[in-house]
Amino acid sequence: MADSTAPSTPRTVPSHEDRPVYVIGGGPGGLAAACALRTQGIRAVVLEKSAGVGASWRRHYDRLHLHTTRRLSALPGLAIPRSFGRWVSRDNVVRYLEKYAEHHQLEIVTGVEVSRVEPAPDGDGWLLHATGGRELTGSAVVVATGYNHTPHVPDWPGRDTYTGDFLHAGEYRNPAPYTGRDVLVVGVGNTGAEIAVDLINGGAERVRLSVRTAPHIVRRSTAGWAAQFTGILVRRLPVRLVDRLAEPMAKLSVPDLSAQGLPRPDTGLYSRVEEGSIPVQDVGLIDAVREGRVEIVAAVDGFEDGKVALADGNRIGPDVVIAATGYRRALEGIVGHLGVLDDRGRPVVRGARTPENAPGLYFTGFTNPISGMLRELALDAEKIAKAIARRVASARGTSR
């Protein structure tokens, strides 16, 4: 594994088959793709802008554990150790990714950030513009920069008038700095829900959770049956059918929290997933809300005179606001000029598919499926590697 914070520029060669496949991003998706390509006998070079693999995982909050099972979260070619438990912790995910790169002897160059990808001048492959004026030519490119790339904070009016502490959830680590304080968490996705529970269990005096749209909440596991198992079983069924099946199950497993300000959603579970919103997996939120330890409040409309203005007309004055308002994929600068993104900045294709107008450009890790992101990354990696192997074989005039 080559690992350097000041790498030399890889050699640019004219022959298509001698050019490596460049994988942009050293997270799970990038490592899995590089391993799958290596298995196909194709040289893959991972370009990672940080100092090591799994950079985004290192930045997650301390208490984070996978919501998917250990056995169904492994990447191709290496199981996650049983000693890590069924729900793998953040630190153990990082250890696993480090071991994965070492075990498969992946070629990884750190400290290199790709700013733009464009067709190679000779019309054969891709030219990558990277840190320090580097220009790297590859036969194909796999973009794996991650689902949680750039923190997104809504442009709330009057935010500069707020005098308390304000941070994005990506900056949150643990509840210690908030002991005895009044905290508002904005956003009820998995991150916001888990941070709210972490805060109240960790000594915050008051925790409120701002909700714009009531989420679907599912138990992470019921009688040993992980929610991920159900997600895998239903992911290819018709959306309306899954919505109908999920409704009675939700009523049986999750109490009605309408009295606490968290009513059941008025749209189907899988319909929401198709729109990009996955269910909240319960790691203590249900009990915290039911017991009144986490208070549900209306959506944030803005800030006025140092207060937070809510959609229901109320004004509140927490000591701290934590915006669990998601991330942007931030692909526009890298590939936006190629016409391969939709109107929400997401790749128009994924996995083995490559855009018609950009052959040899692949994307992985830009969806958040209910069957488990790491599982889907593993499947996509092998599909991408096989597709690239077929392209290489075709270029050489051989069968694959």
Q: Among 11-20, 22-31, 314-323, where is mean pLDDT lowest?
A: 11-20
Position 309 pLDDT exceeds 80: yes
The model's pTM: 0.90
**What is the average pLDDT across 379-388?**
97
**How much is the pLDDT for 192?**
97
Helices (H), the chain: 28-39, 55-58, 90-103, 190-201, 227-234, 239-253, 269-274, 285-290, 332-335, 373-396
Closest CA to 117 of 322, 354, 314, 303: 354
* Beta strand pairing call for 300-304 and 307-310: antiparallel
SS3 state at 301: strand
**Angle subtended at Cα 267 by Cα 263 and Cα 272, rounded to the nearest 5 degrees:** 110
pLDDT of residue 274: 80
d(CA 400, CA 398): 7
Looking at residue 294, its pLDDT comes to 98
Question: Tell me: the pLDDT tens digits for 210-220?
Answer: 999 999 999 99
Percent of the chain having pLDDT more than 70?
95
CB 358 within 8 A of CB 140: no
Highest mean pLDDT among 7-21, 170-184, 230-244, 383-397: 170-184
| Amino acid letter, residue 189 | G
Q: Please give the Cα distance from 149 to 162 (Å, whole number).
A: 26
Residue 4: pLDDT band with limits 50, 70, 90: very low
Q: pLDDT tier at 7 (50, 70, 90 boundaries)?
A: very low
What is the crossing angle of helices 373-396 and 28-39, to 10°? 40
pLDDT value at 16 more than 50: yes
pLDDT of 398: 62
pLDDT of res. 315: 96
Nearby residues of 204 by Cβ (< 8 Å), 6 or more positions away: 175, 178, 179, 180, 181, 182, 183
Residue 400 has pLDDT above 70, yes or no: no
pLDDT value of residue 399: 54
Phi, psi of 237, deg, nearest 5: -80, 160
Q: Give the H or E element holding residue 117.
A: strand 114-119
What is the per-residue pLDDT across 76-132, written as a single tens digit (0 to 9) for each? Answer: 999 999 999 999 999 999 999 999 999 999 999 999 999 999 999 998 899 999 999
Domains and CATH numbers, the chain: 16-149+329-396 (3.50.50.60), 151-323 (3.50.50.60)
Is pLDDT of 69 > 60? yes
pLDDT(11) > 50? no
Whole-number average pLDDT of the chain: 92
Match 């070619």 to its residue by tokens.
Answer: 77
